[in-house]
Chains A and B, each alone.
Chain A
């Protein structure tokens, strides 16, 4: 019976699932990794954040206890506040500075290659190296403060890393120094993609250059901005190594960040439940930002 039926099946139009079969097969490992490691790992973490796991994971339910404790911990609250300040300021400044530098480089200046290399170079360094270098530069004993005092301004005070109110801005200086170059290059690529005719048209219409940038060029560069935004935001949420290298959370707990809280509770304090609760909160924060954005993107596509 089967041979006749098979022949009939073969005559049918190809099943949708089997279209582009080879590329689908090639994607299977990635899909499995994605499901197993990312989705599976995430679910496992969230489940265990409701347990009292210590050094080793165990399923002993305690409800929302870990979350209650988390939001009553001063260090966590300080971490969240720091991340918010660092995040907002660094997001605004990297985007603005990155675009500004790109626009300036795009004005057909001399030695463009040299400048581009100089601005991008810090990105080639790891956060640890950046952090250590800036720790020395900002050290009051032999950094900027001592140099300027040596020039005769003996009242000059600049020690952000030793001042609990300013330390997060000390971190920002180093973060911006490292991150701006990459955003500049992405923006520059975006600017190069703008058709020369648009510039010609605005010149004919007599629109000033700054206005062209704001009204015409920036709206045209929306995809580039979105890419840059995603890169910068993901960098902010995982902020960890820069803090470890520059301040290790000090002075006091003034420069603690959420990722460091997660690491410390998971590994040095042997409290998996608490660490998982904190990392779940980090995931929720990211989701709160990403889901509306993804939804908007999706709606735009459908329209």
Chain B
């Protein structure tokens, strides 16, 4: 009797759910660490408060490499979610071309996204054949060298202000029993650090020639030879850091065991949680102090095409909410990333964040490698970098030759 009643009750509930206009929208993403989860909770809060729809959180544990195949599998397999995270760039390109994503162009034109999204290259990354298919959410830049003031005090040398000084000070740190450069063992960290060195040491022109024009001659040329030599030096200085995760490496900088770490602005959160003050306990050097430029990688949301007008309306409302001023401030303060709008104020952000905003305002920006290379080319570079970084016998010349070969057939 009880069971029958429960069954009846639940079926009636379902029927209520389908007839009402409110939609449960599942949103998948791979933001699971403390700061990330707090940031995405802001989106969920705003969506639930300001609309009649419900945010169903579909967090996928593990990094993007684990989550993306699951997301793509669900979209191509006919079980699409309401909205999903991808990085700025070409990860969802083919899904859009296959007509599996919702076209946001009308909404974007009505709200004038092109007027306030800064840099506009983020919107270009969302645009395929003149139509807009995603909402840029935030900007994460890789180009930061984080330095521990304590490590340099212990070694009795001044804190470096650029990469050259960093290399000069490294032997003193080693004598004091410190590791000059902390480096996690995961492949993406080696690739990222190399990318940072490429912008800082080869210069903007050479970087653009390789990454945008895919010019293999420049990749084999003297500018990049300098980058590979620097990477070989950095490899020697990071040889003793036996950690895997990036935040373990950041912790070595926080505790003063290591001099510095090349890592994106997401490392900022770790320093904050440890209670360190920027400028007093640690420094951040954008572009390794050589070339103050940041790359504008980050995250965007895509909305798989679902043939249900109610769901589509809810998807558009979510897209509009995510790029609103209120959501941009709330989300990015928690996430430690920069907003995609040029017209919001992030006064609450700390020193390093302000420096990032200044560079963004001056327009010294480059696209992220994810935006210029396909995941396939990125993967090949990753394989090369992880091997180069772990094998002290792998010479800089050999690595550069193989790098130029990858660029020659890049797409």
Contact = CB atoms under 8 A, between A and B. Distances in A.
A270 B390 contact: no
B94 interface: yes
B155 interface: no
Interface in B44-83: 65, 68-69, 72, 76
A278 interface: no
Given A162-B242, A252-B390, A268-B68, A54 B94 contact: yes
B269 interface: no
Contacts of B94: 54-56, 270
B345 interface: no
A254 B374 CA distance: 25
A268 B387 contact: no
B76 A56 contact: yes
A253 interface: yes
Nearest to B73: A267
Given A55-B72, A56-B94, A270 B387 contact: no
A164 B393 CA distance: 12
Interface stretch (B214-222, B363-371, B375-383): B375-383
A14 B26 CA distance: 61
**Chain A interface main SS type:** loop
Contacts of A248: 186
A274 to B, nearest CB: 7
B243 to A, nearest CB: 10
Contacts of A274: 376
B347 interface: no
Contacts of B409: 69
A143 interface: no
Interface in B84-136: 91, 93-95, 98
B390 A164 contact: yes
**Chain B interface main SS type:** helix
Contacts of A73: 380, 383
B374 A54 contact: yes
Nearest to A253: B387
Contact of A265 (B185, B379, B384): B379
Interface string A265-288: 101111100100000000000000
A251 B98 contact: no
Nearest to A162: B242
A75 B402 CA distance: 12
Contacts of B389: 252
Interface residues of B, number: 28
Given A253-B386, A269-B379, A56 B98 contact: yes
A74 interface: yes
Contacts of A162: 242
A178 B266 CA distance: 40
A20 to B, nearest CB: 39
B242 A270 contact: no
A229 to B, nearest CB: 33
Interface in A211-233: none
Contacts of B91: 270
Interface residues of A, number: 24
A164 B386 CA distance: 12
A55 B76 CA distance: 10
Nearest to B402: A74
Interface in A253-271: 253-254, 264-265, 267-271
A270 B376 contact: yes
A250 interface: yes
Given A56-B98, A162-B242, A250 B376 contact: no
A248 B20 CA distance: 48
A253 B98 CA distance: 34
A263 B389 CA distance: 23
Contacts of B76: 56
Given A56-B94, A268-B68, A268-B69, A252 B391 contact: yes
A264 B402 CA distance: 20
Nearest to B242: A162
Interface string B375-411: 1101110011011011100000000001000000100
Contacts of B380: 73
Interface string A180-205: 00000000000000000000000000
A63 to B, nearest CB: 15
Contacts of B374: 54, 270
Interface string A42-64: 00000000000011100000000
Contacts of A164: 390-391
Given A267-B69, A268-B68, A270-B94, A75 B376 contact: no
Interface in A73-109: 73-75
A163 B359 CA distance: 42
A252 B376 contact: no
Contact of A74 (B69, B93, B375, B383): B383
Given A251-B185, A253-B387, A54 B376 contact: yes
A141 B185 CA distance: 16
Interface hub of B72, B76, B186, B379 (most chain A Cβ within 10 A): B379
Nearest to A76: B383
A243 B218 CA distance: 37
A253 B383 contact: yes
Contacts of A56: 76, 94-95, 98
A267 B68 CA distance: 8
Nearest to B185: A250
Given A74-B383, A252-B389, A269-B375, 4 more contacts: A254-B390, A267-B69, A269-B376, A271-B376
30 contacts: A54-B374, A54-B376, A55-B72, A55-B93, A56-B76, A56-B98, A73-B380, A74-B383, A74-B384, A75-B387, A162-B242, A164-B390, A248-B186, A250-B386, A251-B185, A252-B389, A252-B390, A252-B391, A253-B387, A253-B390, A254-B390, A264-B379, A265-B376, A265-B379, A267-B72, A270-B94, A270-B374, A270-B376, A271-B375, A271-B376
> Top 8 A-B pairs ranked by shortest CB distance?
A252-B390, A267-B69, A269-B379, A55-B94, A271-B376, A252-B387, A251-B390, A270-B375
